[in-house]
Structures are given as structure tokens and as C-alpha cells.
Amino acid sequence: MQKLYDVIIIGGGVVGSAIARELSRYRLKIAVLEKNLDVCFETSGRNTGVCHGGFAYDPGTLKAKLCVEGNRMMGALAQELDFPFKRTGKVLVGNTDEEYEQLGRVMRQGAVNGATGLSMIGEEELHRLVPSVQAKFAMLSRNSGILDPFLMTIALAENAHKNGVEYHFDSEVTGIRRSGNENVWEITTAHGDTYAARWAVNAAGLGCGKISDMLGIRGYKIIGSKDDYIILDQRLGALVPMPIYTVPSNTYMGIHVTITTDGNVLLGPTAEDTDNLSYYGTEQKNLDYLYQEAMKIWPHVKKSDYIRTYSGILPKWVDDNGKIQDFKIEIRDDLAPNAVNLVGIESPGLTASVAIARYVIDMMKEREHFAENVDFDGTRKGITRFALLTPQEQDALIQKNPDYGELVCRCEKVTKAEILQAIHNPLGAHTMVSVKYRTRCMMGRCQGGYCQMRISSMLEKELGIRPTEITYERAGSHPFFGVVRSEAESRREAQ
């Protein structure tokens, strides 16, 4: 008989991890089953990293309500969990009378939704705030901001883990059944492991439709909206003090020019419907289109500043006519008792994640009393970023730990001490991208040209694994077929 959990959360993205963290406030035995080898390898890590204001959603929807709530709590959350977040504000820019009217509508809608800090600004004010933009007027959303989606997800997951939540990676759920006499969920994974739990939570993101079907709540139609992005060099960040958007509809934000918390500029997204929820390839026509559209509002794009392109997919719940629906968060006592079903959690899921988690827990608590976990510690400390310190602080850190004096990644100035902490992360995620997302190594303009060899070597050494066991990101993504010369290897080891 396997261990009985109180709650199994399917999906370790930002929503699953937020639910795990919020549930760890109670005395519950919780596990997260994640199909990838780390958190945020899908939608949670493949987005714009913007903290939305909540004005671009139909009034009365969960998207509007939870986005506004999520935005309000982001500052305190970022402090508690030590992840990068800046309330930069954001502008939605336009040129025509029609666009002006549309922005007025967006602003009124925002007010109904409870979004605050919205105002229309003229050309002069716009250029004072964002000198590099090309437009006549804008709607300013003062409370919008930017956050690091990787570190936010990792922070939530690590804090959940600190409070007793187990994370199981490489654990794709392939079967769920209700065990009749015991009233528990039996959840089977692709590797044949079985977990039993009193509660099941579907936070599977792109897999939400599949898991919903497995839970017995059938019929949700999920399509993917695939977004291609271009990342530009960090030096351009100074030209983009806040995200620059065009006039949105309530289902598509338009091409925008944003910055990351580290100063890289992002161009995107393209938003194309797709049935393939696991294909992350970019398309030439999309990259060309992004360039052309971004240049209209921000005429500073140079192809020599490209450092990477990527793609993300948002799971959208649509009706039979293909119309995009609200977030669905439900407990179907009739079909799947003690299961929380989250369907179509797309944008603004990152902003709303903790608000979603609290909403979920309120629903669960209507059905069961949860005893408070008196040992809950809601704080988490991330890895200290050497590059962001003053020379005096850097020196003090090196005196305590000389590994801080050894630079491994030159572009992002990441030290050996940081890489070591990332390799030994509390969640036990061991891919090269796990180290990348936690430290920013390999994320700079040379894209790991200088540091990747050092990082794979450190992974081998620290984890005691063979070269062929190094994994880049997804299962099976092994950079090495073996050693070049075995006799050379013994010499290398002896050194």
C-alpha cells in the first residue's frame, strides 16, 4: 500500500506551485507531480513576464478579478519570496482616433474590474516616460510591472518544499481513478508509479484537458495559442523603462516591446492557434512579422542585437464556436468529488497565480476543515546575485566564500558559488536549464559559449554522474555521447 497523501497537485508550473505553497499553510501531506525535469519548463517559463493590471478582461470574469488581486499582492509576495519584481508601469500606445476611443473603453473596463492607476496621457507625457516610443498618446497603467517568471515559479516551489511539499519530477500523469471503497484518487505516472490522495488538483496547464478527462470531467476543448518571441541584448534595456503595448482586444494583447527584470528587451508574441501543445519551434514568418510590428512602435530593433528566439504556448479553453472562455476553476462533486479542476489557465495566470491558489483553497475549505500549519514559514531566500552588488559588498562576500570570486559566466557575471547553490537546489532539479533559470548563466549574449562547458563539468562533479547522464532540458536531451578518449579521462580525473 502506497503512502496516502492529502493532496496531489498535477503540474508544477506557477499555478501548481502557488497552490502547493498556499496549501502548505495547512497541516496537509502534499505532493506535486510534474512531467518535466523541473518547474516552469512550459507555459510558466515561456511568456513575457509581465505583471498585468487587470484592465484587458471582460468585467465579471475570474481573469479580471484574480488578475487585479494577483497584481495587488505581487509586491509583498516578491519581498517574502525574494524574486525579482518591479512595478514599472506600462503604456498602451496608439495614434488614431479609433485607437483613442478603444483605449478609453479599456480604461473604463479596467475601472469596473477594480484596476487602479489608469490614465490617458498625451504625446509629451508619453515621451517623458518612454522617450524611445513612437506614438501619439497612450493609456498608462501605473500598477503594471515586470517579474522574473522563472524565479517566481522556483520561489513558490521552493517555499512550498520548505513547508513540507514533495516535488516529483519526470512524473507525467497517465491515469487517474477513483478507488471506490476508500474514497481516494489513485494516480499513475508514465514510469508506473502510483500515488494515492484524498484530494487531486488539476493544475496541468497545457495538459488541463487531458487531466480533466481523466478525472471524469469530460468535454473541455483546449487549444493552444502559440507565441513566438525575440530576445534582444541587455544593453537596450535602458531604452525601455516600462513595457510598451499596442491597443489590446480582450483576447489578444497585440505585439509588444517589453523588458525583463534583467534588462533584456522582448519582442512578441505572435499568437497563433495550434493543436500541437508540445511544439515550441519558431517560424521565420513570425520572426519577420515581430520585427516589422515592433519597429512601428519602437524603431530601435537591430538584428545584430538578437540573442535568442523562443516560443511559448497558452492553453485556451474555447467553446464549440472557438470563442475563448474565462478561467474555469471548479469542484464537481457530482463527477469528481475532492478534485479541483483548473481549466484554461492562460494569461494572466502568472500575475493571478497566488490569487488563483487562494481561490482554490477557499473552495476546498468549503468542503473540509484544514488545520493550520503552525510551523509554516512563508519566506524564502534566493541565491544572492553577485553581479547586482557593489564592489564593497562583493568583496565582503568573497571573503566569506572565495567561490564568489570565481566568475563562471562572463556575460551575466555569475560566480561559481551561485552555480553550486543552483546545482544543489532544494527541489533537486538537475538539468543545465535548471541552473540557467536559477542563476542566469548561459542567458547572456554569448548564450553559454563561454560557460556551458564549465557548468556541465560542475554538474558531473557535484552530482557524481556520468557525461552521458547530463541533461540539457527535456528528458533525453543529452549533450554528450560519451568521452572522446577513455585514457584521457583517467588523466583528467587524476588532475
Partner 1 sequence: MIRENIDTLIVGGGPAGLAAAVELWKKGMRSILIVERERQLGGILRQCIHDGFGLSRFGESLSGPEYAQKFIDEVTALGIPYLTDAAVMNITGSRLVTIATPGGIREYQAKSVVLTMGCRERTQGALAIPGERPTGVFTAGVAQAYINLYNRMPAREVIILGSGDIGMIMARRLTLEGAHVHAVFEVQPYPSGLPRNIEQCLNDYHIPLYLSHTVTKIHGSSRLEGVTVSAVDAHMKPIPGTEQYYPCDTLILSVGLIPENELSLDAGVTLDPRTHGAIVDENYMTSVPGIFAAGNVLHVHDLVDFVSMEAERLADHVAEYVREGSLPPCTLDVHYDTDINHVIPQKVSGANPFRLSMRVSHVMKNAAIEVRQNGNLIAKKAVKKALPAEMIQFDVPADNLQTSGDLEVTAVQR
* Enzyme catalytic residues: 52
CA distance linking residue 418 with residue 389, whole number of Å: 13
Interface segment toward partner 1; rule CB under 8 A; list 67-75, 312-320, 375-383, 471-479 = 471-479
Of 1, 374, 484, 494, which one interacts with partner 1 (CB under 8 A)? 484
Whose Cβ is closer to partner 1: residue 53's or residue 205's?
205
What element of type H or E holds 166? strand 166-168
| Residues 398-417 within binding reach of partner 1 (CB under 8 A) | 398-399, 402-403, 405-407, 410-411, 413, 415
Give 324's DSSP letter: B
What element of type H or E holds 178? strand 173-179
Interface segment toward partner 1; rule CB under 8 A; list 62-70, 195-203, 228-236, 257-265 = 228-236
Q: How far apart are the first and last CA of the chain?
A: 49
Of 252, 306, 370, 376, which one interacts with partner 1 (CB under 8 A)? 306
Q: Does 191 bind partner 1 (CB under 8 A)?
A: no
> Closest separation between CB of residue 394 and partner 1, Å?
5
CA distance linking residue 269 with residue 254, whole number of Å: 7
**Preceding omega of 348 cis (within 30 degrees of 0):** yes
| Beta bridge pairs of residue 257 | 244, 267
Pairing of strands 173-179, 184-189: antiparallel
Interface segment toward partner 1; rule CB under 8 A; list 11-19, 199-207, 210-218, 445-453 = 445-453
| Beta bridge pairs of residue 199 | 7
Whose Cβ is closer to partner 1: residue 121's or residue 307's?
307
Taken in order 6, 11, 16, 17, is the CA torsion positive or negative?
positive
Query: One symbol per residue from 231 to 270: x for binding partner 1 (CB under 8 A), - otherwise; what is it?
Result: x---x-----------------------------------
**Residues in contact with 427: Cβ distance below 8 Å, sequence separation at least 6, in sequence order:** 38, 39, 154, 157, 158, 161, 167, 169
CA distance linking residue 316 with residue 477, whole number of Å: 28
Residue of 357, 338, 349 lying closest to 316 (CA atoms): 349
Residue of 178, 175, 159, 184 lying closest to 33 (CA atoms): 175
Cα dihedral 66→68→69→75 (10° resolution): 130
Whose Cβ is closer to partner 1: residue 284's or residue 321's?
284
Q: Does 436 bind partner 1 (CB under 8 A)?
A: no
CA distance linking residue 40 with residue 81, whole number of Å: 16
Q: Does 76 bind partner 1 (CB under 8 A)?
A: no
Whose Cβ is closer to partner 1: residue 267's or residue 314's?
267
Whose Cβ is closer to partner 1: residue 369's or residue 485's?
485
> Closest separation between CB of residue 440 and partner 1, Å?
15
Q: Does 488 bind partner 1 (CB under 8 A)?
A: yes
Of 131, 391, 464, 494, which one interacts with partner 1 (CB under 8 A)? 391
Of 316, 419, 448, 459, which one interacts with partner 1 (CB under 8 A)? 448
Q: Does 186 bind partner 1 (CB under 8 A)?
A: no
Q: Which residues bind partner 1 (CB under 8 A)?
A: 230-231, 235, 278-284, 286-287, 303-304, 306-310, 386, 391-392, 394-395, 398-399, 402-403, 405-407, 410-411, 413, 415, 445-450, 452-453, 456-457, 467, 472-485, 488-489, 492
